[in-house]
């Protein structure tokens, strides 16, 4: 057997080169500085970096390492070079401008499981020049162990927190949605709006809580700007959904149900809920975690007031107690095989056997009379 270079075919005196050889030669001959598919990176001094995408589908990754902002287009190979060896510090006075690739399905990822988004410090100013199908943004602060307050107000185009300044006010919407992963400590998610200024519909938004006691705030009349794709995911702690100041009636179900403006409370997740200013309607499905409902105002502005239904199917030995406290009505359901459900500022209950029982202010002997009456009704139904 002869070993050596493979013979190349000849045709009329011309060399016919194999396609693989052609590709290899072309790759080797690409001149330095010629932009390839993805992003090009430039620096406008030590305080400004720019990532400019092309027509391909690419995801831009940004993270902070040792006080510098690194970039990547594959999520594996990161560089701190923003052109000619220029580096950009992770500093609140610095800005990274991102012109998102026009390829459908492009994305931006800020932070990762080892370097939180809040470590970037700099302002991330984003521009999507055209409405691309499926574009996404992920702000990953899960590696942060500090309690945080995140403000989500995409109507003007901002998502902010200590160390996070994400600005897409001059951009088209990310049609694939924006996801915010919070820190591992107890956090507050102040969700003012997910209605993007460049479009007439809401931008899909997902907030994912960490391992602490997290609170999702839906303040004021901006509830109406929440879209049909607003998802809240509770973490390992005790998670609350607070509609204080919202004038729309709130209708929702704990243990995985939907609230007005929020399509999904993933994996139950939310254990406490606080209603708005009008007459709200709540339903609770008892489970392994204790849950609570607060109707909101001690005296609702409209009739019939806040109502609560507890779905007792699947529970054993349900019982109800009602007491009065200085700040309004309070009570609790207890079960033999489920965690308790407590409530306050609720004017109408539909408990136990399905009857509607108005809860009246009670104290002393009057409270005892109410308890005896409820117990008698329950025993009579069990016979």
Domain count for the chain: 1
Quick check: is 376 in a domain? no
Query: Which of 61-65, 187-191, 233-237, 240-244 tops mean pLDDT?
Result: 61-65
pLDDT at 382 over 60: no
pTM: 0.78
Quick check: is 173 in a domain? yes
Quick check: is 141 in a domain? yes
Question: Comparing 235 with 82, which gets the higher pLDDT?
Answer: 82
pLDDT at 53: 92
pLDDT at 129 over 60: yes
Q: Which residues of 63-95 are buried (b: 16+ CB within 10 A; e: fewer)?
A: bbeeeebbbbbeeeebebebeeebebbbbeebb
For the stretch 193-222, pLDDT in tens is 776 666 656 678 889 888 888 888 887 655
Lowest-confidence region among 136-150, 239-253, 254-268? 254-268
Tokens found for residue 214: 């997290």
Quick check: is 31 in a domain? no
pLDDT classification of 318: cutoffs 50, 70, 90 = confident
pLDDT at 31 over 50: no
For the stretch 48-101, pLDDT in tens is 999 999 989 999 999 999 999 999 998 889 999 999 999 999 999 999 999 998
pLDDT at 269 over 70: no
Quick check: is 190 in a domain? yes
pLDDT at 265: 64
Question: Comparing 313 with 89, which gets the higher pLDDT?
Answer: 89
pLDDT at 200: 57
pLDDT at 248: 79
Tokens found for residue 380: 């009579």
Long-range Cβ contact pairs of 51-55 (< 8 A, separation 24 or more)? 51/96, 51/97, 51/98, 51/99, 52/99, 53/98, 53/99, 53/100, 53/101, 53/102, 53/103, 53/106, 54/101, 54/102, 54/103, 55/101, 55/102, 55/103
DSSP 292: E
| Residue in 137, 39, 28 with CA at minimum distance from that of residue 81 | 39
pLDDT at 275: 87
Helix/strand/coil percentages in the chain, nearest 5: 10, 35, 55
CA 62 to mean position of chain CA atoms: 19
Which strands, in side-by-side order, build the sheet including 68-72?
A: 68-72, 59-65, 107-110, 136-140, 177-181, 205-208, 230-233, 264-266
Quick check: is 198 in a domain? yes
Residue 52's domain comprises: 36-237
CB 300 within 8 A of CB 278: yes
Quick check: is 311 in a domain? no
Quick check: is 90 in a domain? yes
| Residue in 347, 256, 351, 265 with CA at minimum distance from that of residue 313 | 351
- Residue range 337-355: mean pLDDT, rounded: 75
pLDDT at 30 over 90: no
């Amino acid at each position: 057997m002869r070993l050596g270079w493979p013979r190349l075919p000849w045709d009329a005196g011309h060399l016919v080169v194999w396609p693989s050889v052609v590709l290899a030669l072309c790759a080797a001959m690409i001149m330095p500085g010629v932009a390839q598919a993805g992003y090009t990176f430039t620096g406008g001094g030590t305080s400004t970096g720019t990532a400019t995408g092309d027509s391909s589908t690419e995801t831009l990754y940004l993270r902070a390492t040792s006080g510098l902002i690194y970039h990547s287009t594959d999520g594996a190979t990161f560089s701190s070079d923003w052109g000619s060896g220029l580096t950009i510090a992770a500093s609140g006075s610095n800005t990274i401008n991102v012109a998102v690739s026009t390829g459908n399905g492009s994305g931006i990822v800020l932070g990762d499981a080892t370097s939180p988004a809040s470590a970037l410090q700099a302002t991330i100013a984003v521009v999507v020049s055209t409405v691309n199908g499926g574009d996404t943004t992920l702000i990953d602060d899960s590696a942060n162990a500090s309690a945080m307050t995140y403000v989500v107000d995409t109507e003007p185009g901002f998502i902010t927190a200590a160390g996070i300044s994400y600005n897409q006010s001059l951009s088209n919407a990310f049609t694939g949605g924006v996801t915010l992963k919070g820190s591992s400590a107890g956090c507050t998610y102040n969700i003012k709006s997910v209605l993007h200024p460049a479009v007439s519909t809401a931008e899909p938004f997902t907030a994912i809580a960490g391992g602490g006691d997290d609170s999702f705030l839906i303040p004021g009349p901006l509830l109406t700007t929440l879209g049909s794709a607003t998802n809240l995911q509770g973490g390992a702690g005790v998670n609350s959904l607070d509609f204080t100041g919202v004038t729309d009636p709130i209708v929702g179900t704990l243990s995985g149900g939907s609230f007005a403006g929020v399509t999904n409370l993933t994996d139950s997740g939310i254990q406490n809920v606080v209603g708005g200013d009008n007459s709200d309607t709540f339903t609770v499905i008892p489970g392994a975690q204790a849950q609570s409902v607060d109707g909101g105002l001690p005296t609702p502005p409209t009739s019939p007031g806040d109502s609560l239904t507890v779905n007792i199917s699947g529970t054993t030995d349900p019982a109800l107690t009602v007491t009065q406290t200085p700040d309004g009505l309070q009570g609790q359901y207890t079960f033999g095989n489920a965690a308790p459900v407590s409530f306050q500022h609720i004017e109408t209950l539909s408990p136990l056997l399905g009857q509607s029982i108005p809860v009246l202010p009670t104290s002393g002997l009057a409270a005892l009379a109410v308890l005896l009456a409820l117990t008698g009704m329950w025993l009579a139904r069990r016979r």
